[in-house]
Amino acid sequence: MSRAASGVRRLVIALTVSALALPLTAAGTPSPGASSANPTPSNAVPITGQLAVELQTTAVDEKLARDVYGVLATAYAQPIFDNTAKSEGQHLTALRAVMARHAVADGTAGDAAGSFDTATVAALYTQLITKGKGSLLAALEVGVWVERFLIDQWSAVLAFANLPDDVHNVATNLRAAERLHLEAFEQLLSKVASNGATPNPPATDTATSASAAVRLRQRAQFATPAVGRYQVGTRLMLALQPVKTSSGATLRWIVNSASRTRCAVRVQDGRTTLALLKPGTCTIVAYAPPTPKYLAFQWTRTYRIVAASR
């Protein structure tokens, strides 16, 4: 099926602001991409490499959003949380269908609500829940933060060239849905603030911006190639496009001083790669400016470089 003929469905969100309520029609309304509008291609081929990693990352993000909103829905009588939780669940279902179609392993399968396979994601979940339970204002700020990251993640998927039509259609539709969610959260946040509450200042890249640090670390873990043995001359893809914190700082990779003769990080046209130059070990560090110690984590990975076979 061509992208032009895919019949892109749009999620209609009715924004009815009354007092402090903002009902959404998401409950009972399929989100874009969540239906069977895109039939299973008979010639679907397995997806591997960096695109498979991005789809797996996005599944974790969608589950995280669904689970966070589910908890906030029990804490506040605002329909936006329950409706958006259901919508994110539909997104996850649509994404899982695409992943299964293309033989991409789903690391979220079988995980209960609030359960995650990595400590960093689990820590982020706990932090978002803790912040969100502080006040309605804080909960809405969590919603804005989550939706911005989901939009970024779907944009990362759409940045790949030659996407299969079904992947492109689902990613396009669900990114559009996240933008509508973001608009809804921002409008209600403004409404609540205008009734006397004061929004918290935006996150900054300081040691107190733990959520940005955790999320940045999560992205580094998913985006960086697996540890292993690679031949001299190999170039590993670290990022297809810039990865940013919630306050806009761009994630960077550097080679530690002991490895600089054996490998090099290179950035060109927004893509970051790691060139393996000589046999030995190569250790890289993921960080956000201005220094590797600026955020609350030091994330490293070491690769073994072997001579090219003849």
Buried b (16+ CB within 10 A) or exposed e, 151-181: bbbbebbeebeebbbbbbbbbbbbbbbbbbb
At residue 299, the pLDDT reads 64
At residue 191, the pLDDT reads 85
Whole-number mean pLDDT of the chain?
74
- Of residues 86 and 44, more confidence is placed in 86
- Of residues 142 and 36, more confidence is placed in 142
Amino acid at 57: T
- Of residues 257 and 182, more confidence is placed in 182
Q: Please count the residues of the chain.
A: 310
- DSSP 8-class letter at 250: B
Residue-wise pLDDT for 197-209, tens only, equals: 544 433 333 333 4
How far apart (Å, rounded) are the C-alpha atoms in residues 114 and 137? 22
Burial of 187 (0-12, 13-18, 19+ CB in 10 A): middle
Which residues make Cβ contacts (< 8 Å) with residue 100, sequence separation at least 6?
Answer: 106
At residue 226, the pLDDT reads 65
Hey, what's the torsion of the CAs at 243, 171, 89, 133, to 10 degrees? 30
At residue 277, the pLDDT reads 92
Q: What does the block give as tokens for 89?
A: 């669940």
Q: What does the block give as tokens for 102?
A: 């293309």
Q: How confident is the model at residue 223 (pLDDT cuts 50, 70, 90)?
A: low
Q: How confident is the model at residue 219 (pLDDT cuts 50, 70, 90)?
A: low
- Of residues 241 and 230, more confidence is placed in 230
Sign, CA dihedral 53-58-59-64, equals positive
At residue 227, the pLDDT reads 67
At residue 288, the pLDDT reads 64
- Of residues 309 and 187, more confidence is placed in 187
At residue 39, the pLDDT reads 42
**Domains in the chain, please, with CATH?**
49-200 (1.20.1260.10), 225-306 (2.60.40.1080)
* Cα angle, residue 273 at apex, residues 151 and 103 outer, rounded to 5°: 60
